[in-house]
Amino acid sequence: MDTISPERRSEIMSRVRSHGTKPEVVVRKLVYGLGYRYRLRCPDVPGKPDLVFKGRKKVVFVHGCFWHRHEGCPNTRTPKSKVNFWRKKFEQNIARDRKVGQELTRAGWKYLIIWECQINDLEWLKKRIVSFLEDTQV
């Protein structure tokens, strides 16, 4: 059972943003500072990625660990109330992410997922982004 009233829960959930989140802004500033230019959430690219590098045919997603279920991450906790609702919601998110990855691959795009918890190590993140964008990773 939820310990918060439906009105309060609605207010809390209305503040959850789908884009422009702190992790996304950190990644955008980092990428821009590295000299790369990108577009935001291009609707013509499958999955509406957070950062789109059209000339390179590459995209970056900045995923929240909670919503997208970053395996092994402490932020990937499951609420204790309405467990069936949350389980279904998370399964749908994972299935959608998988489908988007397949659509991107079929369309010839390469994609990188940056998890919310990974923005804490900016040096590692810089290397990973440059490696992805410069095609030096396998």
Q: Residue 111: which region, alpha, beta or left (left: phi > 0; alpha: psi -120 to 50)?
A: beta
Q: Which pLDDT score is estimated for 137?
A: 53
Which of 130, 126, 128, 117 has the alpha carbon at shortest distance from 23? Answer: 117
Supply the CATH number for residue 128's domain: 3.40.960.10
DSSP 86: H
Q: Which pLDDT score is estimated for 2?
A: 59
Q: What is the pLDDT of residues 68-85, one digit of tens each?
A: 888 888 878 888 888 898
> Mean pLDDT of all residues in the chain?
87
Q: Which residues are within 8 A (CB) of 35 and not within 5 positions of it... i.e. 6 or more apart?
A: none
More confident residue, 18 or 39: 39
Is 115 part of a structural domain of the chain? yes
Distance CA 120, CA 105 (A): 28
Distance CA 129, CA 15 (A): 29
Tokens encoding 120 = 């804490």
Q: Which pLDDT score is estimated for 76?
A: 80
Is 98 part of a structural domain of the chain? yes
Res 138 pLDDT > 50: no
Is 38 part of a structural domain of the chain? yes
Is 1 part of a structural domain of the chain? no
Range of the domain at 124: 19-133
Q: What is the pLDDT of residues 89-104, one digit of tens each?
A: 999 999 999 999 999 9
